[in-house]
Structure 1
Amino acid sequence: MTVFKHILIPTDGSALSERAVDEAVHLAAEMQARATVLTVTEPFHISGSWPEVSVDEHADWAQQRGQERVASGAGLARTLGVPCEPLIVEHEEPYAAIIDAARSLGCDLIAMASHGRRGLSAVVLGSETQKVLTHSRIPVLVLR
């Protein structure tokens, strides 16, 4: 039986993603593995002729939103005695940030929700999970 030692657990803050985080942290506890709970925030973009918020305001908002997304998983990990680091990354392509983080942190498993989008947006934009599955050389556990 393969035992994983470091699990990357991406979250987008959706209800489906939060359930997957819960399951993945419990899996890490059972395997006595470390965990990293990751969220990816969007970089600052200027829209129209003048930005609605400043770069600093966006950075503060993104950091706060990221902390909210990783807080429950990191808290559960603490409760279960799982060594866990929260990680907030800014990137245009969430799937690429997930794969890059897994590779750079030496993770041997990515455990994530089946998808974050539904309906037409999932068809047009594609599932980040599908992109991770397509491009990752690290095993991916998809949770529903």
Structure 2
Amino acid sequence: MDFVSAGDFTRVPGEAGVALPAAEPTPFGRGVLEELYLPDPSLLKEGFAPDEMLVIGGNSFGYPLCMSLAQGDRGAIYYFDLQQRAGWSDAQFRSMFSALSPDLVTGYLEPRQRGELPEKPERLLHYYRIADDFSEFLTRCEPLA
């Protein structure tokens, strides 16, 4: 995929950006990325960013794409769920979305009810892994249909 650079950010290809399929079950399906940011290298020091994450991209809805600065998963790419739906009850999902996607039910809600979702450290509760590193991230970007 070709990315177009402009100043301190890079516009991703396509009119609406690219889809980001996560490497783990999510309560929202795929993430959407419209811009990549070029962070100041001075921000790459440990302990600077909340949750030890550096925002490297985002979309017009404010959902950030982050790179981990933490020791155990340094360089991994995550999508942050601003609505923090991991904390929602099943009833809240149903009240917010009258017609739940079957993919959400079978891919997230049912495995959650059975306790089959991967365990996460508290700092990653609302972050969803996209890739282990930036190179893998680039291969996972998909055109939005």
TM-score (structure 1 length as normaliser): 0.26
TM-score (structure 2 length as normaliser): 0.26
- The answer to which structure has the higher helix fraction is 1
